[in-house]
Structure 1
């Protein structure tokens, strides 16, 4: 049979379809996903799905609700191994025939859980307040053409949101309407990428001129699924009756950006809540744990192992002794049968557990929690961290990482707003070979400072006219309103007509204004203009021109207005040739009132000088630029030329036929512009200072001496970042620099890395700097060369990373902290774009920024300026880490002393499972008698005073890498505990060999023996803490005396009241206090235990004193009350 080709094709397609269906069925049965989620989604403009609450704009950072707080918090607390261990011990104490009262386990555990719950509940309440403030913020939406006010949390995809000038964008919006000219909307993205400069967004062309009430109906937006990349967005806008329009980042208003210089803008919400790009770039990386906490876990495991060994050894010894001595005294009860029953073995094993488990300090964690909480309060109370301008204090958003401040090895810092104020200030200029400086809003020749120069001289005036015209700066719309109101008395006048008119012809004389009206308007409205621009350098230059008398008054369409002295001049802007990183310059082509066409150009000297024709002046200005650069100023060269009508017409006609979107078209445009930018006449150069934050250079120098390597991670261009890095001394002029910039292939990257390895391996080069950009960073991760980069970068004194997205910043931090070296990292920034980096680092610092407080709210610690980090790390880091290390070691020490004496008593009594201590002593030992002095010392101790730590940053090196929490230090404390417990027990045993030591002639019973041992333990561990302290504040002294006094009072009352909890303690303590032998025993034990410790302390102090440190010091009174 012969089949046609069509039939065969049809059969084959059916067979393929059947096979596909079979595969789908098999995959579904196996539980596998057969397809990924759709890559795009549809949003209907103005249509909201109220049922889908997950896509609403609600932000939640809190952990608990009121209803679920108790069960969830208890669950979290008992998930901690130590807490669960104590819970099991408490259950065992209740269930079995316990040798001690179950209350000794129940009371401390309950107190510990209660205090921790209160602390965590308070911290979560603060998070609830922050969430509610954000979610309940009032925003405006457009509903059926009417403006309504709703809560921020109710915004959902499809909602039309109106954002007024100065307000933050509450969700990711596609711009659909704007009050700006030609559908423009100006925003700042300081919270996203750290830049406070204006950026221009545009309404899709078909919607320009529409108002909210007449927007087309049934519009639909197709968008990709949310991704974190801030700089990439593609979508489609479908308008009924029109072709679909391509959407890009020029149409996207990101959450966290702020509307500027535009009355209002309306956009359709597309990504809300956790799906916004800001939220995706601010993903929380999980709980952070300090190095001390990890060390404590190791110490606890060791003590648990010791406990298990003691239990097993005691059980075996008990069985052996009873087996060898079957005849027992009747008062000891029935002996163990052999072979023993399992129930008897468990009874004895658990009894030993309840006797020995006190070597593990139950109240350690709750004391640490209290110490951290109080330490966090002290941070907010410290006047050194209070901003002088705003009075705002520093804040600790979490108290879990106080001690980690003393372990930082690598600091990652944002640049804009962190190292710098992002405030450019014009300082100096070179005009025709003469150097001028601005002082008190007047210009002075540096060679003759007697009198200010006349700015209206021909060369100087022309120079500042170029600065006032060659830019993309905007005048604040508020200023334009004021001027128009003053000119008109509130109505439409000459000025408003000029700024509102459409371009009718090319003659700017049509817009000439009356100078008298203009002058009076400026005087009444305030002569200082508020400029806003995409470049802070441009803004600084236009403001400088304004200060010296050449004022840019505004623009409308293609017309620019200047006020030069007493005259008002207007120019028609024919072409704006924007700055690009390849060209490194910008130019503007203008027509003046006489019809002449001018090209004004400014840019990097390397880009402008080759286009100039006067080589002698070029050399002279170049010398001035080099002098400016030595002062750390940002420099630009200024040049111009006059263009004939024929030349401009020829070039402009060529430009009209170029499609300005493709890469080839951009290259054609660059070539055409290059034709005009020839034979320029050099006028001079400018020097602008990017103001650094106060004391940045000194702070970075101190951190370097402390062994902390600083990395600067910024979204700025390489040139800008390098300039700032040099100005703040992050990078030295003498450092050898290695560049991984613009590397777009794996092969080129590997070649660059090999060259960097060779440089690092060269002898004699210790001061190295590595410069990296975002493109190269992407290649590093894709090419699997991350470890090579880590090895190279950690050999450098400084690293500068430029053009990074927020996610790339976080990836770099994660890369370094997870490297084999495992350095402790810190990150600091002031914008929402820094949140991921801040939360990724071991310790995060947020600066209260000029544009928002997102970074400060999301960080572990919030400060007001970068220089505060010096005291945070060098002083607080040193104090908090040493305090916590002492607290931890001391807790293990004192409990080990108590537990060793219990173990020694078991040896003496043939492992009878009888406790030598009364249960009340065991209950209150950690809870009341010893915790308070230790807690007070942990918040007041100062190994070195603050001024010495700041003057000697190298002291910081003595505590990094967790040096105080090593096993060797821990072993020293454990040996001290063993020695002290042996001395206490042996001397007590020797004294009590004589049965009659009381004045009344009564013999010493078990409870007197136990009371004596506990008393000596209390005295020894209290004096040990006193000896350990270097800074005896009044509070610490009072707490120690109060602790001993409370012990004395309790024992006195307890021995006078007949309670008989475990045994008969009536009168025991009173008899001990009246015994001379017991007094002698106290003296001998104190000398035998603490004199060796004191000798070790003296040797340690002498060996550990820093160079130039005084042998003694008087405690500063201020610190004793504040920290």
Structure 2
């Protein structure tokens, strides 16, 4: 890399090998969007299946038009492409905003402003306070005399504390553009690496053939923010996608919810049913045609060619034709409806005003909508402590010097003593001369041994700098504990449970000892191999035989409503585990404070003895996790678990251990720092806290919330609603498609298995797209079977939907048999009502298409009214969608059968719908068949509510009667009026 002032004809070392400074997180480009998106969509089994069906319809002679499969497939592909294109456009927009942000370069001795994407390796960059470093830089110099700068790496590793960086020793004295531009240097460095914490090795850096001493340095990485008033100069060494930030970016693994897994299993079942139907009809067709007089009729033009064709080929072709005829049992539009429901439903979470935090100005974020319903299935919550359960706001509260404890105030002899109060044993007295020396050394250590810096502003609220009091100073440090100590010394000279403690000690060194220690440290820092190991050995040698002066205590307060949230989660049947890196005493005290542990319960250590009691709690340290089976055996029998002294990797291992246990529970991990990212990514659902440790956890999570207290409503209300809505949507789709296709199957027994379709092509095409899709989509977005206040007030209702209760095999079989029953009623009801009956004014009987239209009309009205019966939360939008879809069907049928369409080769539906409506028996049959179809479902709701009510139904009815003021009345209806706040229905 050639940098600084370049001589004529001198360019960067092999510049074509270095990328520009553009960051690309988008997935598609304008040119590859269509082929790449189509390839990804057809990798989905369902889409590929319908593509094969569509191609079969094009290749062979099938009973239905290719439009019936092609148009729905096109609709699904188009909607999904629009959704994914929009999401990728947002990524492009974010990339452009980052790549076009202004950056200051040094060019020909002047400061030039350019876009970030134009930065190249070897350019000199100037960065001011609160600006973000545009690429990975070698720190050359700063406006501070000591050649240091303070930065925050929150956007990179999640740590919001300030870190000190040191400039290259031989260049730190250059403070202006002219001095830097007057230099020329060549840098030979390592290949880009993703490790954030490894010191970077510069193999060679020469200035006019002089070797510059910078063998191991800490680079200023892209996305780091400069702090404290100073101007920083650096040379670009890694740009664009070779920066640490880009190399550490990795796409999150695709997570699948329990609902999606159940849906895929159900699809396999229906695919087996589809193949069975096609196989049965193929066999029965040839059994039927085994008699000569039952062969294909003479007027069928394809009869003769078919007879000459190979029997196996004929049977295979017929099998494919039956597959096409019955393929509508697989709901093609269900996938796009589910995706739209998840995408649109996620906005209800982000729009929730109760989850907006005014202190931080932040609201909830949804990074993926694919796991909305998983929020209603959580069985284990793994939470960090610092910054998640606590405020991560350190406050100095106590200190101990020579065994004397100092607190800001304490009750002594019935009086409150303020300021510097000493507590020694049970007495209160002053400290005299023998302790003065240790006191002085104690506070000298606190004042000097830290990284705190004072940031001075020019003015505060209009006051000049010299008018500010010492309390107006802003302290920054690499550790929040240090800031608390320095601030606390201003107020106190001062052991509660749960406090963060720090020991203070000293050791006297002679001049010779100090010189030797300095040489050892310098040699270790310049070591080319095993640098960290050698530094540790030097520190171990120096830091011996210290004299203890005392200890400090810093308090990290519990977050607001953290205890209420944990208590509500436990009532909902969710087990809460705390995974923290803190020591056991501090972490256990926090667990008591937030009511995770109770004072009257026993704390257990790891043992091989099986624990039977469910009211016990458990505390583990990091090494205990190695005993996996024993660990699981104990922890599964405890209502709460605390794991302390945990490294980030161990947190993820704990989550994975529970996730992969034999029960396969649904897990959730929540944290606020970079050390929580591993467990957030490992859990089924990861939630980041938008806190003081940066946004690393929030960016890598599936969802982000401002405070831990918002987890209560997120799970108990939004998660509950999401799961109920999507479960009903999936079951309803399977139900209405069984109702749709089973009459087609029955009709083959009455048409000699000739593959004649029962419905018109237009009805086949629009059934799932227009007639029945919008009402269920709106239901999936807005349905509330109970009120949000009830769900928050009664956390136990969460148990009613836990463990995928609404998508178990029992519920699946019920919906399937309900669809079969309704289909049998549609078909045979219409068949027996109008068998050999003259129904028209001119003496003609209903024909094939009139019969099919009658069945289809009953079908559309029944499945729509079934959804209306299941709806509890009625708004004008619900009324418009449900009744509007029925009106749309009637208007479409009148237009479709009332006009001779010139683009059609046939007019078989002309005047069919009007002829059917002109018949009195047809009206009677429609009303009667709809009533008979809905009756079993209504009876089932009434009986289940009266005989086997769920906890949800019991609470609903109880509150309903309290509100109505008539507790003596017994509710026997299957649906409480929607005008009341309390409504609900039995969920099986």
**TM-score relative to the length of structure 1:** 0.73
Of residues 57-66 and 1002-1011 in structure 1, the stretch that sits farther from structure 2 once superposed is 57-66
Shift of 1:855: 4.2
CA 255–768 in structure 1, closer or farther in 2 if over 3 Å, else same = farther
2:797·2:951 contact (CA, 8 Å) conserved in 1? no
Q: Deviations over 1:870-905 (max 9, x none)?
A: 222221111111211111111111111111100101
Shift of 1:1049: 1.9
1:45·1:221 contact (CA, 8 Å) conserved in 2? no
Q: Deviations over 1:312-338 (max 9, x none)?
A: 221221122112143566566675637
1:543 matched to which residue of 2?
Answer: 487
**Is 1:92–2:27 an aligned residue pair?**
no
SS at match of 1:132: helix
Q: 1:1085 pairs with 926, 929, 933, which one?
A: 929
2:555 matched to which residue of 1?
Answer: 689
CA 140–704 in structure 1, closer or farther in 2 if over 3 Å, else same = farther
Shift of 1:163: 3.4
Where in structure 2 are the equivalents of 1:1026-1041 lying within 5 Å? Answer: 1026-1041=868-883
1:798 matched to which residue of 2?
Answer: 641
1:1022 matched to which residue of 2?
Answer: 864
2:25·2:92 contact (CA, 8 Å) conserved in 1? yes
CA 639–670 in structure 1, closer or farther in 2 if over 3 Å, else same = closer
CA 873–1115 in structure 1, closer or farther in 2 if over 3 Å, else same = farther
1:655·1:672 contact (CA, 8 Å) conserved in 2? no
Shift of 1:271: 4.8
Q: Distance in 2 between matches of 1:721 and 1:465?
A: 30
1:185·1:262 contact (CA, 8 Å) conserved in 2? no
Q: 1:523 pairs with 444, 467, 490, which one?
A: 467
Q: 2:365 pairs with 382, 395, 414, which one?
A: 395
Q: Distance in 2 between matches of 1:124 and 1:668?
A: 55
CA 369–337 in structure 1, closer or farther in 2 if over 3 Å, else same = same
Q: Distance in 2 between matches of 1:257 and 1:1116?
A: 55
Q: Deviations over 1:652-687 (max 9, x none)?
A: 65444334565554344333533xx4xx6x7xx865
Shift of 1:152: 3.6
CA 133–848 in structure 1, closer or farther in 2 if over 3 Å, else same = farther
Q: Deviations over 1:793-844 (max 9, x none)?
A: 6666334354635x66656655654555544333334455655554444333
Shift of 1:937: 0.8
SS at match of 1:993: coil
Q: Deviations over 1:209-242 (max 9, x none)?
A: 3447556743535447514353665665655677
CA 290–540 in structure 1, closer or farther in 2 if over 3 Å, else same = same
1:281·1:833 contact (CA, 8 Å) conserved in 2? no
Where in structure 2 are the equivalents of 1:196-345 lying within 5 Å? Answer: 196-211=160-175, 214=179, 217-218=184-185, 220=187, 222-223=189-190, 226-228=193-195, 230=197, 238-239=205-206, 245=213, 251-261=218-228, 263-326=230-293, 335=303, 337=307, 344-345=314-315
1:425·1:540 contact (CA, 8 Å) conserved in 2? yes
Where in structure 2 are the equivalents of 1:440-451 lying within 5 Å? Answer: none
Q: How many matched pairs?
A: 923
SS at match of 1:666: helix
**Is 1:1043–2:892 an aligned residue pair?**
no
2:516 matched to which residue of 1?
Answer: 657
Q: Deviations over 1:473-494 (max 9, x none)?
A: 56755427669x99xx9xxxxx
Q: Distance in 1 between matches of 2:980 and 2:97?
A: 40
SS at match of 2:289: helix
Q: Distance in 2 between matches of 1:960 and 1:476?
A: 52
1:1058·1:1065 contact (CA, 8 Å) conserved in 2? no
2:612·2:637 contact (CA, 8 Å) conserved in 1? no
SS at match of 1:99: coil
Shift of 1:129: 1.6
2:116·2:134 contact (CA, 8 Å) conserved in 1? yes
CA 1015–961 in structure 1, closer or farther in 2 if over 3 Å, else same = same
1:165 matched to which residue of 2?
Answer: 129
Shift of 1:792: 6.4
CA 692–1115 in structure 1, closer or farther in 2 if over 3 Å, else same = farther
2:951 matched to which residue of 1?
Answer: 1105
Of residues 214-223 and 125-134 in structure 1, the stretch that sits farther from structure 2 once superposed is 214-223
**Is 1:470–2:336 an aligned residue pair?**
no
Q: Distance in 2 between matches of 1:905 and 1:121?
A: 43
CA 722–280 in structure 1, closer or farther in 2 if over 3 Å, else same = farther
1:1007 matched to which residue of 2?
Answer: 849
CA 346–274 in structure 1, closer or farther in 2 if over 3 Å, else same = same
**Is 1:923–2:765 an aligned residue pair?**
yes
1:585 matched to which residue of 2?
Answer: none
Q: Deviations over 1:136-177 (max 9, x none)?
A: 333344557654444444555555444333333444444332
2:539 matched to which residue of 1?
Answer: 666
2:138·2:237 contact (CA, 8 Å) conserved in 1? yes
**Is 1:366–2:225 an aligned residue pair?**
no
Of residues 1018-1027 and 278-287 in structure 1, the stretch that sits farther from structure 2 once superposed is 278-287
1:434·1:445 contact (CA, 8 Å) conserved in 2? no
Structure showing greater Rg: 1
Shift of 1:992: 1.5
Where in structure 2 are the equivalents of 1:842-853 lying within 5 Å? Answer: 842-850=684-692, 852-853=694-695
Q: Distance in 1 between matches of 2:105 and 2:29?
A: 30
Structure 2 runs not aligned, ≥5 long? 6-10, 423-428, 525-534, 961-976, 984-988
Q: Distance in 1 between matches of 2:585 and 2:131?
A: 32
CA 529–1057 in structure 1, closer or farther in 2 if over 3 Å, else same = same
CA 139–804 in structure 1, closer or farther in 2 if over 3 Å, else same = farther
CA 468–138 in structure 1, closer or farther in 2 if over 3 Å, else same = farther
2:894·2:914 contact (CA, 8 Å) conserved in 1? yes
CA 812–350 in structure 1, closer or farther in 2 if over 3 Å, else same = same
Q: Distance in 2 between matches of 1:149 and 1:224?
A: 29
**Is 1:945–2:804 an aligned residue pair?**
no
**TM-score relative to the length of structure 2:** 0.82
Q: Distance in 2 between matches of 1:1054 and 1:88?
A: 29
2:667·2:684 contact (CA, 8 Å) conserved in 1? yes
Q: Deviations over 1:249-304 (max 9, x none)?
A: 7x343444433336133444455444444444442233333222222222222222
Shift of 1:982: 1.2
SS at match of 1:902: helix
Q: Deviations over 1:97-120 (max 9, x none)?
A: 342333322322222222111111
Q: 2:718 pairs with 870, 876, 883, which one?
A: 876
Q: Distance in 2 between matches of 1:656 and 1:326?
A: 114
SS at match of 1:995: coil
1:711·1:801 contact (CA, 8 Å) conserved in 2? no
1:230·1:277 contact (CA, 8 Å) conserved in 2? no
**Is 1:1070–2:914 an aligned residue pair?**
yes
Q: 2:616 pairs with 767, 770, 778, which one?
A: 767
Q: Distance in 1 between matches of 2:478 and 2:110?
A: 33
Shift of 1:340: 5.2
2:456 matched to which residue of 1?
Answer: 479
Indicate the RMSD between aligned Cα atoms, in angstroms: 4.2
Of residues 764-773 and 1084-1093 in structure 1, the stretch that sits farther from structure 2 once superposed is 764-773
2:974 matched to which residue of 1?
Answer: none
Q: Distance in 2 between matches of 1:995 and 1:695?
A: 72
Q: Deviations over 1:193-212 (max 9, x none)?
A: 54433333333545553447
2:8 matched to which residue of 1?
Answer: none
**Is 1:65–2:29 an aligned residue pair?**
yes
**Is 1:375–2:342 an aligned residue pair?**
no
Q: Distance in 2 between matches of 1:710 and 1:228?
A: 33
Structure 1 runs not aligned, ≥5 long? 1-41, 490-520, 551-601, 603-624, 641-646, 740-755
SS at match of 1:983: helix
Shift of 1:179: 3.5
2:673·2:696 contact (CA, 8 Å) conserved in 1? yes
Q: 1:995 pairs with 825, 830, 837, which one?
A: 837
2:446·2:486 contact (CA, 8 Å) conserved in 1? no
